[in-house]
Amino acid sequence: MFPLIDEPRLQSEPREGVPDVIDTLPAFRDYCDLLAAGTGSLAADAERASGYRYGHEDWLVQFKRTGAGIGLLDPQALAQAGADWNDFNRAVGDATWILHDSLQDLPGFADLGMEPHHLFDTEIAARLLGMHRFGLAAVTEHFLGLTLAKEHSAADWSYRPLPRDWRNYAALDVELLIELEQRMRTELKRQGKRDWAEEEFAYALHEGMGPRKEHPVPWLRISRITEIAKDRQALAVAKALWEKRDELARRFDIAPALLLSDFSIIEAAKRKPHNAAQFRAIRSINERVRIQSDAAQEKMFERYAPIQRKVKPSLWKSVIQQALDMPRSEWPTMPSSQPNNDESQTHAPRSIRYWKDRYPERLRTLEKARKVVQQIAVDTRTPAEIIIKPQYLRNLCWTDEPQKRDVAGFLKEQGARDWQVSLIAESVSRAIM
């Protein structure tokens, strides 16, 4: 299926060396000139500090283009210097941008004002090609016989100056993408999936450059929140702690989890401490959050300690007490996990047990549709979840008479791409009749 690589070699540094960070207006303009004179696709990547800082903005953006070399750009410093990303856009023109897992980085590029016109996503390509491991290191190892030295993915990229080994890590993220694109395009064409890939790339580009999608109820993102779903007073405690944590994190520009972990929020919500002794017994909420890492990274992390020390445990105790004093009528509730009848077209439940217990006929229809898709997956050597999003199939089979639906039209309304619809709609229609 794929070319065989005997023994992967370690790519420990970029071939042209580790570049310095571009953080001044003259250096930015010089690199734009190099990009304008370069040729071919643009390899791109970005680094954030979301595990340390409150926001999700980019603190480093990396590029490579044939003839221009690798550029490591500091968007925050360049913004202060007055850099205009339209200069960058003009320099790049309509070149294809190569990213790995583009939906992680495109929103940040959009925030900065970048305007990619075409996309090649190496992770999407790897999934379409049926690879079981599709991280960047695994893909480069498979197609190029090179494995990347990757050691700083969880670093605080807002730290300045960036150490040399961090710059090396960032440069390696774009070092091989141009060669990787060429190899993967060849394999996509060989498997007859080139047009599929282009549709997926266009869809990802549209989604990634569009408005950010915010969670409708942000505090429900607390990890393990379902453990207290049936305890409304516990939910009140969790919600109050989350809101206070978010307020403080925003004010001090620190990652919320560095002030109070989700684990501590859930533990406090479960225990509902009513006095000082009970509160002190919750050890995690009384200790400063720390990061366990190498010595250098821990030293960098210490710059957040003064902020952490400003937030005393007594503040959390006060928040908990206020939540416990709330009248029952103000306690929050978890949204229903099951759809209402009028929502059945687009909100089919994920729980197969629920289908089995309440709607066995619908489950039988769903199993028929899944069987067909699975066979197509085997025939095309493409994962079933890539061929069609599982939720789309669940939505299709959730109503009493899905056989009366225009399957192709329904899947398009759900968001399926043309290649997916043309691949499965007719077979699924026959299966569920």
What the block records as the tokens of 174 is 């774009």
Using left for φ > 0, alpha for ψ between -120 and 50, and beta otherwise, residue 290 falls in beta
What the block records as the tokens of 190 is 């060989």
Instruction: Please give the domain boundaries of the chain with CATH numbers for all domains.
Output: 7-207 (3.30.420.10), 216-328 (1.10.150.80), 350-430 (1.10.150.80)
Q: Give the separation between CA 365 and CA 371, rounded to whole angstroms.
A: 10
pLDDT in tens, the chain (433 residues): 555 455 678 888 999 999 999 999 999 999 999 999 999 999 999 999 988 999 999 999 999 999 999 999 999 999 999 999 999 999 999 999 999 999 999 999 999 999 999 999 999 999 999 999 999 999 999 999 998 876 666 789 999 999 999 999 999 999 999 999 999 999 999 999 999 999 999 999 999 999 988 889 999 999 999 999 999 999 999 999 999 999 999 999 999 999 999 999 999 999 999 999 999 999 999 998 887 666 666 677 788 999 999 999 999 999 999 999 999 999 999 886 554 444 445 589 999 999 999 999 999 999 999 999 999 999 999 999 999 999 999 999 998 788 788 999 999 999 999 999 999 999 999 999 8
Q: Give the separation between CA 167 and CA 215, rounded to whole angstroms.
A: 33
